[in-house]
Amino acid sequence: MATLRFHALKQVHRHKPIHIEEKVRRSEIFGANVFNETTMRQYLTKEAFQSVMDAISKGSKIDRSIADHISTGMKEWAISKNATHYTHWFQPLTGATAEKHDAFFETIGSGLAIEKFEGGQLVQQEPDASSFPNGGIRNTFEARGYTAWDPTSPAFIYGTTLCIPTVFVAYTGEALDYKTPLLRALQAVDSAAVAVCKYFDKNVKKVNASLGWEQEYFLIDSGLAMSRPDIVLTGRTLLGHSAAKGQQLDDHYFGTIPNRAMAFMRDLETESMLLGIPVKTRHNEVAPNQFELAPIYEEANLAVDHNSLLMDVMDKIAGRHNFKVLFHEKPFAGVNGSGKHNNWSLSTNTGINLLSPGKTPMSNLQFLTFFINTIKAVYDNEELLRASIASASNDHRLGANEAPPAIISVFIGAQLTKVLNELENVTDGKLSPQEKTDLKLNVVGKIPDVLLDNTDRNRTSPFAFTGNKFEFRAVGSTANCANPMTVLNSIVAQQLIDFREEVEGLISEKTMKKDDAIFNVLREYIKASKNILFEGNGYGDEWEKEAKKRGLSNNKTTPEALKAKVSKKAIRLFEELGVMNKVESEARYEIEVEEYALRIQIEGRVLADIARNHVVPTAVKYQNILIENVKGLKEIYGASFKKLAKEQLNLIEQISSHIEGINSKVTKMTDERKKANTVENLEKKAHLYCNKVKPLFEDIRYHCDKLELLVDDELWPLTKYRELLFTY
Ligand code: ADP
Ligand code: MG
């Protein structure tokens, strides 16, 4: 057999696990390739070191002359680690990371050369950025953007390149990347949360958002993956009949990690350690060949960078092990898809997690304040939160009968539900001393510091409180976490600002005491945002009906979901917080709508190609074999051949009918695509791709998959599900 499929299958068994020797403790190599605090102390002058630290903790500006000292120290360190190049490392709106390497090397005449890296090169660069998505922000004559150093995320060496995390902005000031709005949102939530913390502890000066992501992925033999044009071009299989065995035996989840996968993981973990990515957990996931990796949580901006970097590292290390990593949310029909849970919390410079119940009634009141404000923020902005995770690939999970639904709801567990119910009954207005004592001792004071029922979590909830953090589970595995993190931190920031205003209002207008005012506002919030709380099964039809009654949105497709990004409310929210201006919000919307259409367009083309150029010719070939066979039988047996050729004749007819099915649906899809392509308006185009083109995928796939079951296995050119998912 000359097909790629058989060639790839033959190769698989030659790929033995690569043995990785680990002689050092991981803690010893952790951060070895990062320009971290310890390294900075070693390579920077005291003044330079202090100025970086101030930039990190207070956001203060770094003086240009000091930047020269820093760049020199950074260069010395990088060269000592065998780096030859440097790059500004950023995250344009393609979702991937971008880098353009420049050598330290410079000639100085007379045939001599030196290694050079100046402050200016550290602080700002001007990559030729005209080919990055910008949503019309930069018109061609102003097609310039620049990258600027983000000192809050440390520089690192990747391979032989010094990478400097940067923001990417247009010369007109608008953000062209994911990091800029995220940093602004983190700033907003910091100042809003500090102001609220002052009610409880005057010593709080800074509040950091934390993020702990969990990355799910599939690991497929690279030869097998490469033999599938759909995986190569779209990251997922567009067709393929389910294997006889899938995940029904539940034998993969937390099972023994296969040797080859384990070798990959160890190699990956070593590289992550060097880069300072604190990976901690690894395990098999639900679907065959599906795995998960999770780090120890970090400050959100750093965690976002680390996730982006890790995805890149995974890709590279996988290559070394003859694997291909699939990050797509739904690479295979019929088995679980992949997500990226975003575990989120807020913590103070005094070492308190604001989403963790404390030991005293006062610290618990602080916990409840942040807990309830978060719930209110999610309720008031559920559509925007849904929009922040919308993508063509995530549509396959959300609302497609796979965890979690496209409806945003919040799970808090039985214990906290009880607490909220009791708080809801707090008297309107000033509380009597007896009431206050009661409340503090018996309600607020009784929250256990370990929330037991939250360990048995409702896995169907898209946004769940899990003991000391909220877990945003609807995020897709391919997503850049900056997008949902920008929205979540922004809506919470806005909510905390509103909360403080209301509390202050009650204190000054109704001369309430601080505690009375806080209880009163929280009570109203609980009443107002009750509808977002849901503890039941999120997959059920009943929930869809119930959610509709509650007025919650259920935006199942990306074009529908994205609209919330440019609602008046969303634009105002981001504007008021200084996270994004109107132009930036609209540009992002346009980029994402266009990306959606482009992705479906690519899938449509690939599917049509595979169906017409791979599947149909194979089916015809097999049908011809059958026809020859029938002719032969007729020649030998004469009139009685029909009885003997019953199965063959039946197959011939079935094949014809499926070929006809493919032909008519592919033709129809091509027509719909042509129609969509003539539409200029990006929003309309996306809707056409979503509602007219995409639905035909299923029909085409149906006929192809049926043919896969009919046609001789030896002729079938496409690597099958059982091979992709069970061979390694
Ligand atoms: P799972 O949800 O799979 O049971 P864990 O509960 O172990 O996983 O935690 C998953 C992620 O949550 C990890 O990345 C972990 O670092 C992160 N995490 C734990 N505590 C916090 C917190 N307070 N804030 C943010 N992330 C956290
Ligand atoms: Mg989790």
Indicate the burial class of 574 (C-beta count within 10 angstroms; 0-12, 13-18, 19 or more): buried
For a pocket test of ligand 1, which of 211, 214, 253 has the largest count of ligand atoms closer than 8 A to its C-beta? 214
- R_g of the chain computed on alpha carbons: 29
Q: Is the pLDDT of residue 142 over 60?
A: no
Percent residues over pLDDT 70 in the chain: 96
**What is the β-pairing status of strands 410-411 and 340-348?**
unpaired
Number of neighbouring beta carbons within 10 Å of residue 374: 25
- Report the b/e string of 608-636 with b at 16+ CB within 10 A: bbbbbebbbebbeebbeebeeebeebeee
Percent residues over pLDDT 90 in the chain: 75
Provide the residue type at 73 as one letter: G
Q: Write down the pLDDT at residue 11.
A: 87
Q: Looking at 139-153, 623-637, 663-677, which range is the least confident one?
A: 139-153
Q: Is the pLDDT of residue 141 over 50?
A: no
Closest residue by CA, ligand 1 atom 13: 212
User: pLDDT, tens digit, for every residue of 155-213?
Assistant: 999 999 999 999 999 888 899 999 999 999 999 999 999 999 999 999 999 999 999 99
Indicate if ligand 1 lies below 6 Å from the C-beta of 297.
yes
Indicate if ligand 1 lies below 6 Å from the C-beta of 295.
yes
Number of neighbouring beta carbons within 10 Å of residue 438: 15
In the chain, DSSP finds a helix count (H) and a strand count (E) of 27, 17
**Packed helices 361-380 and 482-509: angle between N→C axes, nearest 10 degrees:** 120
Q: Write down the pLDDT at residue 113.
A: 92
Give the angle 95-274-343 at the CA atoms, nearest 5°.
50
Question: Which atom of ligand 1 is nearest the CA belonging to 296?
Answer: 16
Q: Looking at 284-288, 598-602, 720-724, which range is the least confident one?
A: 284-288
Domains and CATH numbers, the chain: 31-174 (3.10.20.70), 186-580 (3.30.590.10), 595-726 (1.20.120.1560)
Q: Write down the pLDDT at residue 350.
A: 95
Q: Is the pLDDT of residue 140 over 50?
A: no
254: left (phi over 0), alpha (psi -120 to 50) or beta: left
Taking all residues of the chain, what is their mean pLDDT, rounded to a whole number? 92
For a pocket test of ligand 1, which of 279, 282, 297 has the largest count of ligand atoms closer than 8 A to its C-beta? 297
Q: Which ligand lies nearest to the CA atom of residue 474 in the structure?
A: 2
Q: Write down the pLDDT at residue 231.
A: 98
Indicate if ligand 1 lies below 6 Å from the C-beta of 133.
no
C-alpha 652 – ligand 2 centre gap (Å) = 50
Closest residue by CA, ligand 1 atom 3: 214
Q: Write down the pLDDT at residue 180.
A: 96
Q: Is the pLDDT of residue 1 over 50?
A: no
Closest residue by CA, ligand 1 atom 4: 455
Q: What is the mean pLDDT of residues 292-319?
A: 97
Q: Looking at 102-111, 222-231, 292-301, which range is the least confident one?
A: 102-111
User: pLDDT, tens digit, for every residue of 461-478?
Assistant: 899 999 999 999 999 999
Most confident of 145-154, 511-520, 620-629: 620-629
For a pocket test of ligand 1, which of 186, 215, 298, 469 has the largest count of ligand atoms closer than 8 A to its C-beta? 469
C-alpha 215 – ligand 1 centre gap (Å) = 12
C-alpha 303 – ligand 1 centre gap (Å) = 12
User: pLDDT, tens digit, for every residue of 650-695?
Assistant: 999 999 999 999 999 999 999 999 999 999 999 999 999 999 999 9
Provide the residue type at 682 as one letter: L
Q: Is the pLDDT of residue 145 over 60?
A: yes
Provide the residue type at 110 as one letter: S
Q: What is the mean pLDDT of residues 256-276?
A: 93
Question: Which atom of ligand 1 is nearest the CA belonging to 344?
Answer: 25
C-alpha 642 – ligand 1 centre gap (Å) = 66
d(CA 323, CA 339): 20
User: pLDDT, tens digit, for every residue of 313-359?
Assistant: 999 999 999 999 999 999 999 999 999 999 999 999 999 999 998 88
Question: Which atom of ligand 1 is nearest the CA belonging to 294?
Answer: 14
Indicate if ligand 1 lies below 6 Å from the C-beta of 373.
no
C-alpha 276 – ligand 2 centre gap (Å) = 22
Q: Which are the contacts of 307, defined by CB distance < 8 A and separation ≥ 6?
A: 213, 215, 340, 480, 481
pTM: 0.95
C-alpha 189 – ligand 1 centre gap (Å) = 20
Q: What is the mean pLDDT of residues 68-82?
A: 96
For a pocket test of ligand 1, which of 208, 213, 340, 343 has the largest count of ligand atoms closer than 8 A to its C-beta? 343
Indicate if ligand 1 lies below 6 Å from the C-beta of 347.
no
Give the containing element (helix H, strand E) for 281.
strand 279-284
Q: Is the pLDDT of residue 456 over 60?
A: no
d(CA 646, CA 627): 12
C-alpha 297 – ligand 1 centre gap (Å) = 7
d(CA 125, CA 127): 6
8 A C-beta contact, residue 388 and residue 483:
yes
